[in-house]
Structure 1
Amino acid sequence: MSTVKVIKGNPTPEELAALVTVIAARANAPQPAAGTDRASSWATYWRNTRTPFHPGPGQWRASAHP
């Protein structure tokens, strides 16, 4: 069992109960599976195939043509 210590301020019993509820809910929440935060294959494909923009004369015209 963990201890919650209020360092600064004077929370009401209701505020303290709300804080403990949020901490307990967060601790009991299911953890995401490893590797699920990656971008989709479609997003990764376009990220790797797009050419970077190179500023210079006439580049605004070239930006419309792949």
Structure 2
Amino acid sequence: MTAHLRIVRGDATPEEIAALTTVLVARQNPPAVPETPPAPRSQTWRNPARGMRKPVAPGKSAWRMSALP
């Protein structure tokens, strides 16, 4: 078995070497994530009428109620 990883400087512990190897292997092979298509966006958020108030319904004492918050 040939070594693909060689420590050139310092004295790394076996745990440090294992951690380094794990990180390098994880970066090399990203996990397979199934591709899901993006969810369709609703177009109602773009409608300018959305910001308008609802029509006032006339009725008995409607003028009085219009001044109340």
Pairwise same-fold verdict (TM > 0.5): no
**Normalised by the size of structure 1, how large is the TM-score?**
0.41
Greater Rg by CA: 2
The higher-RCO structure (CA 8 Å, 6+ apart) is: 1
Larger proportion of helix: 1
